[in-house]
């Protein structure tokens, strides 16, 4: 029998690690068990193409982590263990088929001038949004960082209502709007609308999905206010520093250690069983950073029918294909200014995004997927040899299970066979926007939705945010009504990770909120 701990955490994703770090600071003895060969889940990096070229496996943007409550509290200690960021003043841009482009930079005058080139009216609106953002952000970020319990929500709601009654009602309406509804009511330029709407596609919010307006708004305003933050040397700077912090405080992180069961006695979680048959006891808590269905499998059932039904029927977003490229140079963009941006979106219109989403949800390989072209070596030259670059391509959306091809060209319905032709479709799109780019590719690695899930079972069907954030499965309903605080019907068993409020992203919100619930 392995040595018992106060808390056992299943999975070494960033939420587990953040939770373990916080508990360790509070004096808990923590042990983390991870089935993969390395910690990090979707937040890891490696030389996936050629030696000297360092790629982020899934997550690249660490702005949410850098601005998180967890980093605010523990950032100094993490920095002592190697955490380092690489900031940029040019977070994102969109390039369009007509050769025009729109970008948001960390300078109001620069960004406003770009908008002015498309619409004087939109530039005025942008100015008003910029001026109002600090007050709006205070309320929105307070909501996103609040425990999903009635007491906490009531207190926040009453405080907000007393300060800004009319604005509170407007915010409630805004939180229910789709990206298209808000963008159409706010701006007139289709180029600007598409630039902002592309952010909804990062979080399962196609243009017409209710509740998605918040994400284009926040990414635009926050990008202008704060820029973007990447990890120095790779996104895994977050993972590596948290593992070291845990170990420095007497905790352990075990990789290649698959958990096969959560053990119980008298309605209380007592520990875990590993694949090799060992039992490890937990004195205070078993914390599972797993998908909802996996939690059911590990427990054999939670003992409450409503909770079990919610976990069984939990829904996932479409998947993502990753293409990692070692490059002789950056893409041959039509305007050299695009070389400065961390992200360049190739998402020409809200109609195209809506079509792509519908096709992926129907199980079809989209005829024109959204391409997110990450250029991390622009921000952090250490990612590649001198004069060379890495590209981080997200192909959104992609079906977890292929039923057909919307374009009628790819006959394969298994990812092993469909990977190369679908990746070529994405690279053809990039080539169309930046002719000559293909000749600059030195090596590539394609990571399909099936490969993402095989590497990290939480990414069901290649869904990088472990579950749709649509309104029926968000806020108090993530992952189940009454359990958005990480609790479960089994005493001493807790649930964390992107499937739990406040959901996906690199901010470690689920792990941080749970740790504070357990240990203050």
| DSSP structural state of residue 176 | T
- 192 prior amide bond cis, ω within 30: no
**Contact (CB, 8 A) for 347 and 192:** no
Q: What is the pLDDT of residue 140?
A: 81
Q: What is the pLDDT of residue 166?
A: 54
Q: What is the pLDDT of residue 452?
A: 98
Torsion of CA 447, 204, 292, 310, to 10 degrees: -150
Q: Which residues pair with 8 in a beta bridge?
A: 31, 286
How far is the CA of 226 from the CAs of 83, 90, 104, 116, in angstroms?
19, 10, 11, 21
Distance between start and end Cα atoms, the chain: 30
The C-alpha atoms of residue 58 and residue 235 are separated, in whole angstroms, by 9
**Contact (CB, 8 A) for 344 and 333:** yes
Percent of the chain at pLDDT > 70 equals 95
Residue 167, pLDDT > 90, answer no
Ramachandran category for residue 364: left, alpha or beta (phi over 0 → left; psi -120 to 50 → alpha): beta
What are 344-364's pLDDT values in tens digits?
999 999 999 999 999 999 999
What are 466-514's pLDDT values in tens digits?
999 999 999 999 999 999 999 999 999 999 999 999 999 999 999 999 9
Q: What is the pLDDT of residue 145?
A: 77
Q: What is the pLDDT of residue 158?
A: 45
Tell me, letter by letter, the H, E, C secondary structure of 1-29: CCCCEEEEEECCEHHHHHHHHHHHHCCCC
Percent of the chain at pLDDT > 90 equals 91
The answer to whether the pTM exceeds 0.85 is yes
Q: What is the pLDDT of residue 168?
A: 63
User: Average pLDDT over the chain, rounded to whole?
Assistant: 95
Which helix (H) or strand (E) segment holds residue 33: the answer is strand 30-33
Residue predicted with more confidence, 147 or 318: 318
The C-alpha atoms of residue 119 and residue 348 are separated, in whole angstroms, by 17
Residue 472 burial (CB < 10 Å; 0-12/13-18/19+)?
exposed
Residue 155, pLDDT > 60, answer no
What are 238-248's pLDDT values in tens digits?
999 999 999 99
**Contact (CB, 8 A) for 78 and 68:** no
DSSP conformation letters of 35-97: SSSSSBTTS-EE-SSSTT--EESS----HHHHTSHHHHHHHHHHHHTT--EEEES--EEEE-T
Confidence class of residue 455 from pLDDT cuts 50, 70 and 90? very high
Q: Which CATH class is domain 5-43+59-84+234-314+465-519?
A: alpha beta
Residue 141, pLDDT > 90, answer no
Residue 154, pLDDT > 80, answer no
Residue 162, pLDDT > 60, answer no
What are 25-77's pLDDT values in tens digits?
999 999 999 999 999 999 999 999 999 999 999 999 999 999 999 999 999 99
């Amino acid at each position: 029998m392995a040595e018992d701990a106060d808390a056992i955490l299943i999975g070494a994703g960033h939420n587990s690690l953040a939770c373990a770090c916080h508990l360790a600071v509070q004096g808990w003895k923590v042990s983390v068990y991870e089935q993969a060969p390395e910690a990090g889940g979707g937040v890891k990096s490696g030389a996936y193409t050629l030696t000297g070229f360092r790629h982020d496996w899934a997550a690249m943007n660490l702005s949410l982590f850098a601005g998180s409550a967890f980093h605010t509290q523990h950032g100094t200690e993490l920095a002592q263990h190697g955490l380092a960021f690489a900031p940029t003043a040019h977070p994102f841009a969109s390039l369009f088929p007509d050769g025009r482009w729109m970008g948001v930079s960390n300078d109001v005058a620069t960004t406003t001038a770009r908008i002015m080139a498309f619409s004087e009216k939109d530039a005025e609106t942008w100015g008003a949004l910029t001026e109002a953002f600090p007050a709006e952000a205070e309320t929105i970020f307070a909501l996103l960082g609040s425990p999903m319990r009635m007491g906490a929500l009531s207190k926040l709601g009453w405080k907000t209502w007393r300060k800004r009654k009319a604005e509170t009602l407007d915010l409630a309406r805004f939180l229910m709007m789709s990206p298209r509804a808000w963008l159409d009511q706010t701006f007139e330029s289709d180029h600007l609308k598409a630039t902002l709407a592309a952010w909804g596609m990062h979080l399962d919010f196609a243009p017409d999905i209710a509740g998605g307006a918040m994400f284009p708004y926040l990414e635009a305003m926050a990008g202008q206010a704060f820029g973007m933050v990447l990890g120095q040397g790779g996104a895994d700077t977050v993972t590596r520093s948290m593992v070291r912090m845990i170990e420095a405080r007497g905790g352990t992180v075990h990789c290649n250690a698959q958990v096969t069961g959560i053990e119980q006695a008298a309605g209380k979680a007592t520990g875990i069983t590993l694949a090799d048959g060992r039992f490890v006891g937990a004195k205070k808590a078993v914390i599972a950073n797993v998908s909802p269905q996996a939690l059911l499998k590990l427990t054999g059932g939670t003992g409450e029918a409503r909770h079990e039904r919610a976990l069984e029927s939990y829904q996932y977003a479409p998947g993502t294909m990753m293409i990692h490229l070692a490059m002789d140079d950056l893409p041959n963009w039509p305007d050299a200014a695009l070389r400065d941006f961390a992200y360049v979106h190739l998402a020409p219109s809200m109609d195209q995004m809506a079509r792509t989403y519908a096709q992926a949800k129907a199980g079809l390989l989209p005829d024109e997927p959204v391409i997110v072209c990450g250029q991390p070596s622009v921000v952090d030259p250490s990612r590649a040899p001198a004069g060379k670059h890495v590209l981080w391509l997200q192909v959104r959306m992609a079906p977890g299970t292929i039923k057909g091809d919307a374009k009628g060209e790819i006959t394969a319905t298994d990812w092993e066979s469909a990977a190369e032709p679908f990746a070529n479709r994405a690279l053809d799109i990039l080539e169309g926007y930046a002719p000559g780019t293909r000749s600059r590719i030195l090596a590539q690695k394609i990571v399909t939705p099936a490969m993402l899930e095989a590497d990290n079972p939480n990414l069901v069907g290649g869904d990088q945010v472990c579950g749709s954030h649509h309104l029926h499965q968000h806020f108090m309903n993530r992952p189940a009504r009454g359990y958005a605080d990480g609790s479960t019907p089994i005493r001493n068993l807790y649930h964390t990770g992107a499937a739990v409020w406040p959901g996906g992203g690199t901010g470690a919100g689920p792990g941080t909120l749970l740790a504070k619930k357990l240990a203050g």
